[in-house]
Amino acid sequence: MTRLLASVTSVEEAELVLRAGADIVDLKDPALGALGALSLTRIRAIVETVDGRRPVSATVGDLPADPDLIARAVNDTAATGVDFVKVGLFEPEYFDQCLHALAYHAATGVRLVAVLFADRPPYPDVVARVADAGLKGVMLDTADKTGGGLRRHLSMTELSAFVAAARARGLLTGLAGSLRMADIGPLLAADADYLGFRTALCGGHARTAAVDPAAVAAIRACLPRTGHYETINIDMDSHDDRRIGRIDMA
């Protein structure tokens, strides 16, 4: 079942999306980039407000491929009590330079989600490398929010194959990237664990605008509802060696 990931910037927005039925509360600052990070103080306040009612994820920011910098950001973000820490791997060199640092944190119990970008260069062996590093999930997003949504960059065949390959490796899966209501129907066929939204929750305004309750309700109505909110079991042990389009997944 595909669930709703709602990106918020404040305690007030978190409460709003919780009331609307979001399945995971995602924390980011869209004014600071594709994966702009909120302050640690604000993350802690939102975690306290959510109080276990839903899983909470938070991004570490649009960081350079510096393993020490990324490791510190992961450590600090995890210490706030979020359920998942999201790390953007913006270019292939992030895998070569930073994946070992993420593997170390994953081994200590931090539940990490790698965020990849459909509008950036291809990623070699992406699913296998993320899974072998011990990360818990992988999402596809877009880095340039002015360059069109996810489906402009990858076909439904590619997106479905990406989700299938990641799931076969036991990874939690998500699709995001300037998604609109019109994207929901086609993307449900890919069967990702989550579809992620920000701009569409702001009533058609800029992604830096406030979340609009009516827009959240409209998006929520287009997605299946679940009767519980436990974290999806992501401990499967299977493999998939397929390769697709611009994203190399073996």
Give catalytic residues, as residue numbers: 28, 86
Phi and psi at residue 113, to the nearest 5°: -120, 120
Q: For Cα atoms 142, 148, 149, give the angle at the middle one, nearest 5 degrees.
A: 55
CA distances (Å), 71 to each of 60, 95, 114, 200, in order?
10, 14, 13, 32
Tokens 């389009």 label which residue? Answer: 245
Phi and psi at residue 246, to the nearest 5°: -80, -10
Let me know: does 104 contact 71? Beta carbons within 8 Å: yes
Let me know: does 200 contact 179? Beta carbons within 8 Å: yes
61: left (phi over 0), alpha (psi -120 to 50) or beta: left
Let me know: does 240 contact 153? Beta carbons within 8 Å: no
Dihedral of alpha carbons 81, 86, 87, 92, sign = positive
Q: Which amino acid is at 137?
A: G
SS3 (DSSP) at 47: helix
Residues in the chain: 250
Q: Which amino acid is at 51?
A: D
Token digits of residue 59: 């991004």
